[in-house]
Amino acid sequence: DRPYLTFLCIVPRLASGLVITSTGSTSIEMASGQTVKLDCQFTLAAEDSGPLDIEWSLTTSDNQEKVVIIYSGDRPYEDYYAPLKGRVHFNSADPKNGDASINVIGLKPSDSGPYNCKVKKAPGIGSRKMTLTVMVKPSKPRCYTDGPTQEGKDVALKCVSSEGTNPMKYSWEKTSDSKLLPSSATLDPVGGTLIVKNASASASGSYHCTASNRIGSDDCTLYLNVTPPPNTAGIIAGSIIAVLLFLIILAIILYCCCRARHKKKYEKEICNEIREDVPPPKSRVSTARSFTVGSQRSSLGSMSPSNLHEYALKPQYDKIPSSEEYERPPSQLPLPPPSAVRMGGPNLSRMGGIAVMTPAQNRDGSIV
Residues 228-241 have a mean pLDDT of 78
**Length in residues, the chain:** 368
Question: pLDDT-based confidence at 328, cuts 50/70/90?
Answer: low
123 and 167 part of one domain: no
Q: Is residue 209 part of a domain?
A: yes
Residue pair 94/71 in contact (Cβ under 8 Å)? The answer is no
70 and 107 part of one domain: yes
Q: Is residue 356 part of a domain?
A: no
Q: What's the burial of 39, exposed, middle or buried (CB within 10 Å: 0-12/13-18/19+)?
A: buried
Which CATH number belongs to the domain containing residue 130 in this structure? 2.60.40.10
Query: Domain end: 135, 162, 194, which one?
Result: 135
38 and 123 part of one domain: yes
**How far is 86 from 83, CA to CA, in rounded Å?**
9
Q: Is residue 53 part of a domain?
A: yes
Query: Domain end: 167, 196, 224, which one?
Result: 224
Looking at every residue in the chain, the average pLDDT score rounds to 78
36 and 121 part of one domain: yes
42 and 130 part of one domain: yes
Q: What is the largest CA-CA distance in the chain?
A: 217
Higher pLDDT, 328 or 227: 227
Cis peptide, bond prior to residue 123, ω within 30 of zero: yes
Q: Is residue 229 part of a domain?
A: no
**How far is 108 from 132, CA to CA, in rounded Å?**
11
End-to-end CA distance of the chain: 194
Angle, CA of 236, 238 and 242, to the nearest 5° = 120
Residue pair 104/134 in contact (Cβ under 8 Å)? The answer is no
Structure confidence by residue, pLDDT tens digits, 342-358: 555 555 555 666 666 66
Domain assignment of residue 203, given as a range: 142-224
For every residue of 36-84, DSSP letters joined together read EEE--BEE--TT--S-EEEEEEEE-TTS-EEEEEEEETTEEE--S-GGG
30 and 127 part of one domain: yes
33 and 102 part of one domain: yes
92 and 173 part of one domain: no
Structure confidence by residue, pLDDT tens digits, 127-139: 999 999 999 999 9
Angle, CA of 171, 177 and 180, to the nearest 5° = 35
Q: Is residue 185 part of a domain?
A: yes
Helix (H) or strand (E) holding 275: helix 232-277
129 and 180 part of one domain: no
Query: Domain end: 109, 135, 161, which one?
Result: 135
Q: Is residue 338 part of a domain?
A: no
**How far is 53 from 38, CA to CA, in rounded Å?**
17
The number of folded domains in the chain is: 2
Q: Is residue 118 part of a domain?
A: yes
| pLDDT at residue 2, rounded to an integer | 40
Residue pair 107/30 in contact (Cβ under 8 Å)? The answer is yes
Structure confidence by residue, pLDDT tens digits, 264-309: 777 766 666 555 455 555 555 444 444 444 444 444 444 444 444 4
108 and 203 part of one domain: no
Q: Is residue 333 part of a domain?
A: no
pTM of full prediction above 0.75:
no
128 and 162 part of one domain: no
24 and 97 part of one domain: yes
